[in-house]
Amino acid sequence: MINKNYHTPVLLKESVDGLNIIEDGVYVDVTFGGGGHSKEILSRLGQKGRLIAFDQDKDSKMNLINDNRLVLINENFMYLKKFLKLNNILKVDGILADFGISSHQIDKPDRGFSYRFNSDLDMRMDNNNPLSASHILNKYSSEDLNKIFKEYGELNNSSKITRAIITSRKKKNIKTTFELNDIITPFISKRNSNKILSRIYQAIRIEVNNELGVIKSLLEQSLELLKIGGRICLISYHSLEDRIVKRFVKTGKFEGEIEKDIYGNFSLPYKSIGKLIVPSETEINRNIRARSAKLRIAERVQV
């Protein structure tokens, strides 16, 4: 049964509409979370349809939907192909991904995702992950920390924040979110404090969970798994995610030149469906965490 307080699905109708669901199709929701998107997909499937859902967070099992057409796999979606094969599925008709972090993870103090609560520095989406926020802050080199804050947090003063952390940890390990806040607050203007703190925590969280690497893995696997004419719907929440998605949908690559076939034509595995979709003012007023969401829809085409 879905816990409505766990996570409010973002761009629900728009993303599921984008899948262009056929009743007896096979679909994948790689970010099950609170089950909102999955429930909507199931409502549009016939009795022969199938939905495979992924979520590495073991807490997501509390939202399991009682439906024999659904299989929930408690694993990271970077293992998508492997677990689909274990379920005798080689091709699918659609894939939906709602990247980022769930409201449940942010609002549960002991997970350490939010600067608002005093808790251990954790930030693991999968509790079996050996890498935690505490390890990164206390063990990473100055160069690696600076790179994380600069690239993943897009901070202009990343070097100052890094130096403050290095200086502080020489005295004692940084163990809690409030200890981290005390170290970095002097380098943040009060006017933008919440925005900058969010970026710092975002940067650490991305590193802990290898979020950008996992997104790239999903996109690469989608080329093999999606049927021709199948759709992929991707919801991003910050420029780093959206940049990866946008380029891959447009070129089929993350970097470098677009490949051409023997006739000199561009070899493009996807075509964009419609324009970039963002939440309406009504949705943002109802769910403030939807404000930065961007939905891109693409269709697999014959190369």
In a domain, 32, yes or no: yes
Q: If you average pLDDT over residues 95-109, what whole number do you get?
A: 86
In a domain, 197, yes or no: yes
pLDDT band at 256 (very low <50, low <70, confident <90, very high): confident
The CATH code of the domain that includes 247 is 3.40.50.150
One-letter amino acid at 34 equals G
pLDDT digits (tens, 9 = 90+) for 160-177: 999 999 999 999 999 999
How far apart are alpha carbons 116 and 43 in whole angstroms?
A: 37
Q: If you average pLDDT over residues 236-263, what whole number do you get?
A: 87
pLDDT digits (tens, 9 = 90+) for 128-141: 899 999 999 999 99
In a domain, 155, yes or no: yes
Q: Which residue, of 164, 179, 209, is where some domain finishes?
A: 209
How far apart are alpha carbons 208 and 33 in whole angstroms?
A: 19
pLDDT digits (tens, 9 = 90+) for 58-97: 888 999 999 999 999 999 999 999 999 999 999 999 999 9
Structure tokens at 236: 């991003």
In a domain, 3, yes or no: no
Look at 274 and 260; give whichever has higher pLDDT.
274
Whether 267 has a pLDDT exceeding 90, the answer reads no
- Domain count along the chain: 2
Whether 281 has a pLDDT exceeding 80, the answer reads yes
In a domain, 2, yes or no: no
Q: Which residue, of 156, 184, 209, is where some domain finishes?
A: 209
Most confident of 6-20, 96-110, 272-286: 272-286
Q: If you average pLDDT over residues 108-113, what whole number do you get?
A: 88
pTM: 0.92
Q: If you average pLDDT over residues 243-256, what whole number do you get?
A: 92
Range of the domain at 216: 12-103+211-300
Is the Cβ–Cβ distance between 233 and 293 less than 8 Å? Answer: no
pLDDT digits (tens, 9 = 90+) for 50-62: 999 999 988 889 9
How far apart are alpha carbons 51 and 32 in whole angstroms?
A: 11
User: What does the pLDDT read at residue 106?
Assistant: 84
Whether 234 has a pLDDT exceeding 70, the answer reads yes
Whether 258 has a pLDDT exceeding 90, the answer reads no
pLDDT band at 102 (very low <50, low <70, confident <90, very high): confident
Do 79 and 218 belong together in one domain?
A: yes
Do 282 and 234 belong together in one domain?
A: yes
Do 205 and 215 belong together in one domain?
A: no
Burial of 216 from C-beta contacts in 10 A (0-12 / 13-18 / 19+): middle
In a domain, 188, yes or no: yes
User: What does the pLDDT read at residue 260?
Assistant: 67
Structure tokens at 102: 């769930």
Q: Which residue, of 156, 182, 209, is where some domain finishes?
A: 209
Do 99 and 133 belong together in one domain?
A: no
**Crossing angle, helix 193-209 and helix 177-184, to 10 degrees?**
130
- In SS3 terms, the chain reads as CCCCCCCCCCCHHHHHHHCCCCCCCEEEECCCCCCHHHHHHHHHCCCCCEEEEECCCHHHHHHCCCCCCEEEECCCHHHHHHHHHHCCCCCEEEEEEECCCCHHHHHCHHHCCCCCCCCECCCCCCCCCCCCHHHHHHHCCHHHHHHHHHHHCCCCCHHHHHHHHHHHHHHCCCCEHHHHHHHHHHHCCHHHHHHHHHHHHHHHHHHHHCHHHHHHHHHHHHHHHEEEEEEEEEEECCHHHHHHHHHHHHHCCCCCCCCECCCCCECCCEEECCCCECCCHHHHHHCHHHCCCEEEEEEECCC
Do 204 and 118 belong together in one domain?
A: yes
User: What does the pLDDT read at residue 8?
Assistant: 83
Do 124 and 256 belong together in one domain?
A: no
Q: If you average pLDDT over residues 189-193, what whole number do you get?
A: 86
pLDDT above 70 covers a percentage of the chain that reads: 95
In a domain, 21, yes or no: yes
Share the mean pLDDT of the chain.
Answer: 93
Do 77 and 195 belong together in one domain?
A: no
Do 273 and 201 belong together in one domain?
A: no
pLDDT above 90 covers a percentage of the chain that reads: 83
**CA atoms within 13 A of residue 78's CA, in its CB half-sphere:** 12
User: What does the pLDDT read at residue 88?
Assistant: 96
The CATH code of the domain that includes 113 is 1.10.150.170
Do 254 and 296 belong together in one domain?
A: yes
Most confident of 112-116, 143-147, 152-156: 143-147
pLDDT digits (tens, 9 = 90+) for 5-51: 566 899 999 999 999 999 999 999 999 999 999 999 999 999 999 99
User: What does the pLDDT read at residue 4?
Assistant: 54
Do 196 and 60 belong together in one domain?
A: no
Do 124 and 99 belong together in one domain?
A: no
In a domain, 4, yes or no: no
Is the Cβ–Cβ distance between 52 and 86 less than 8 Å? Answer: no
Residue with tokens 């499937």: 45
Do 24 and 168 belong together in one domain?
A: no
Structure tokens at 221: 């696997």
